Amino acid sequence: MTKEKAQARREHLAKIRAEQKRRERRTAMLIWGAGGLVLVVLVGLVAVYLVRQNQATSLAAATSASYQANEHTWDPVAYKETPPMGGEHNGYWQRCAIYDKPIHNEHAVHSLEHGAVWITYQPNLPQDKVAKLKEVASTTGDPEFMLMSPYEGLPAPIVVSSWNHQLKLTDPADPRLPAFVKEYQNNPKTTPEFGATCGGENSITTTKDQQPLPPKPAQQSTPTPTPSPTASR
């Protein structure tokens, strides 16, 4: 009887150990399964975020043109787009800055040729949105290649332009605005005169109401323009 009891006891312990191992395996499988499920959910959430982010910053709505560079004129230009995003332009460029009054198209287009992004807005845009635009213009990209001014007759509350590219917007908080700046500002692939300055002593700093388009110089190609206190960073 003693041997039979000992054998039964061993068999009982073996069953207990086997049951414990089965429970441990089930627990491990549940843990790994839960972890895998969490991982799948996280991957799915990241994928959804990236898709939405790409949609939010998509520049698919931007329009484009194919203007050739280096076409200077001393006459006023009738541009096809409002505002222009390329074409003939004055021999002087507008110094990149934030202006509170309209500037000459012909100077701004020359700045685009040098790599500037030009943010224009309707003059009746609410002041809180204008302030937001100024914040974006001051903190996004390179301020040395950022131009901003009000513009009469815009087809949208806000229009952002670079050479041969343009995007219409309604909200200064639209994520496509910084995306446009990142894509086109001083881009060596899209800037006709990459490496040229958007400032310097030969740049125009006055607004339309302060100075008309300069006439063709008699002897020198780039007379010194009159500085203006209305330009600000």
Q: Does 231 have pLDDT greater than 70?
A: no
- Cβ-count burial 154-175 (b if 16+ within 10 Å, e if not): beebbbbbbbbbbbbbeebebe
Q: Which residue has the tokens 């280096």?
A: 70
Lowest mean pLDDT among 38-42, 47-51, 69-73: 47-51
Reported pTM: 0.74
SS3 of 190, please?
coil
Q: How confident is the model at residue 20 (pLDDT cuts 50, 70, 90)?
A: confident
- pLDDT tens readout for residues 69-120: 999 999 999 999 999 999 999 999 999 999 999 999 999 999 999 999 999 9
What are the residue ranges spanned by the domains of the chain? Answer: 1-56, 63-232
- pLDDT for residue 57: 82
Percentage above 90 pLDDT, the chain:
66
What's the rounded Cα separation, in Å, for the pair 103 and 208?
A: 5
What's the rounded Cα separation, in Å, for the pair 121 and 127?
A: 11
Percentage above 70 pLDDT, the chain:
78
DSSP assignment string, 47-107: HHHHHHHHHHT--TT-EE----S--B-SS----SSSS--SSSB-SSPBPSSEESS---HHH
